[in-house]
Structure 1
Amino acid sequence: MSEVPRRAPTGNALFRPRITSAITEAVLEELAAHGYARLAMEAVARRAGVGKSALYRRWPSKQDMVIAVLSEFSVPLADVPEGVSLREDLQSVLQALHDWLTDPHVATILPDLTAEAVRNPTLAEAIRTTIGEPRRALGTAILRRAVERGELPTDLDLELALDLLAAPVYWRLSVRHAQLEPDYFDRLVEHLLRALDARPAPQSQAHHNSVA
């Protein structure tokens, strides 16, 4: 049975990715300019150059729109390539966290959204389940691989370890607004390795991972 060829997209179908991209950028810009509380669907539509119906076809509410856009933007940034050692993975994780926190949109949006979440439990839960948990799941996978390689103890407290990875960079950049010295990540990785009771992976396992 021959396969029916797919028709090339025509008309409005060609513009959907472009419209979605314009809306995503408009949401981020409106959030950065006005904050979550003052963000309006009408303003997003106007900035994106679309009608409000284009927004409501995608999301039923402002909260759904904001969470979807931030999740699509934020979660992939936590997905770092697998390294051959915990040290290498930690370097990648910290760099990815730095890149996320210093993104011009995130640097402006995150403090406002964090404050709004304190006042809005529904928003806080949506942020936790849609952005926080997927990002932490990616971090958990990195730590579990290190346990499997023998670099971390099998009784590692994963939740505490995840907090330990993220907290120093977040505190330095988002709370203190301090600059990072050129060797900051190297020094931080050394402290993290000691705090996590890390040890070198068995040579056979390290060699297997490097050639796999």
Structure 2
Amino acid sequence: MTSRPAPAGKRPPGGPVLQQDVTRALETAFFEELASVGYGKLSIEAVARRAGAGKAAVYRRWPSKQAMTVELASQAALKAVRAPDMGSLHADIAQFIRETMTALSHPLVSRIAPDLLAETARNEELADALLSGIRTPRRENAALVLHRAIERGELPADTDIELGLDFLVSPAYWRLAVIRTPVDDGYVERLTVKIIAAMKA
């Protein structure tokens, strides 16, 4: 199981009190370094140097590069996209797509996401950790949109939730992270209509 950093200001077992400002600096440095060099070349030393801290400061919070990556990437991914409750399936999906696209359009995310995806093909341990820390909870969160629509009678009771989740996420990732094509709100609306039609088919 991936180790989690101790809350800022708390004393980890046998260690000093962690300072919140140092933790924030390390988190920022981690994402900047990961975007700059990729996971394969990422090092604890470089993250610490970019944050103006020592290696010990990193190791007091995360025991390894992988633990740091899974912890921070998971936190960021889960914060980036919620399961909006706007009152209707169309509004919920449109908002979900907008938030997903906003997250994928971030300059750091646009470099980090493809790199981590490529790395998981080479690193089974990292792949398993990211599946548990990012994919599974994000899909569970997004599934709330579809379950609410079923409860409201907007989708059939036998709706294929797994396939619906693929519809929700895949087009946005392909458009922004793979072919890197700009989108506007008109695209979001057209995509929303198509996704709903596909789930009702």
Q: Quick check: TM above 0.5?
A: yes
Distance in 2 (CA, whole Å) between partners of 1:29 and 1:102 is 15
Q: Quote the residue 2:60 is aligned against.
A: 57
Tell me the amino acid that sits aligned with residue 161 of structure 1: G
Q: What's the Cα RMSD here?
A: 1.6
Residue 80 of structure 1 contacts residue 96 of structure 1 at CA under 8 Å; is this kept in 2?
no
Tell me the amino acid that sits aligned with residue 164 of structure 1: F
TM-score when scaled to structure 2? 0.88
CA deviation after TM superposition for structure 1 residue 157, in Å: 1.0
Q: Which runs of 5+ in 2 are unaligned?
A: 1-8, 10-15
Distance in 1 (CA, whole Å) between partners of 2:162 and 2:200 is 15
What is the count of residue pairs matched by the alignment? 187
Distance in 2 (CA, whole Å) between partners of 1:44 and 1:34 is 11
Does 2:112 match 1:109? Answer: yes
Q: Quote the residue 1:143 is aligned against.
A: 146
Distance in 2 (CA, whole Å) between partners of 1:182 and 1:65 is 35
Instruction: From the CA coordinates, give the structure whose radius of gyration is larger.
Output: 1
Residue 84 of structure 2 contacts residue 96 of structure 2 at CA under 8 Å; is this kept in 1?
no
Tell me the amino acid that sits aligned with residue 40 of structure 1: S
1:13-69 Cα distance to aligned partner (Å, 9 max, x none): 6x7221111011000001011100100101101111111111111111100001111
Q: Quote the residue 1:159 is aligned against.
A: 162
Q: Quote the residue 2:31 is aligned against.
A: 28
Distance in 1 (CA, whole Å) between partners of 2:185 and 2:68 is 38
1:122-137 superposed matches below 5 A: 122-137=125-140
TM-score when scaled to structure 1? 0.84
Give percent identity, aligned residues only. 43
Residue 28 of structure 1 contacts residue 105 of structure 1 at CA under 8 Å; is this kept in 2?
yes
1:69-108 superposed matches below 5 A: 69-108=72-111
Q: Quote the residue 2:5 is aligned against.
A: none
Tell me the amino acid that sits aligned with residue 106 of structure 1: V
Q: Which runs of 5+ in 1 are unaligned?
A: 1-8, 199-212
Q: Runs ≥4 in structure 1, deviation > 3 angstroms? A: none
CA deviation after TM superposition for structure 1 residue 111, in Å: 1.1
CA deviation after TM superposition for structure 1 residue 80, in Å: 4.0
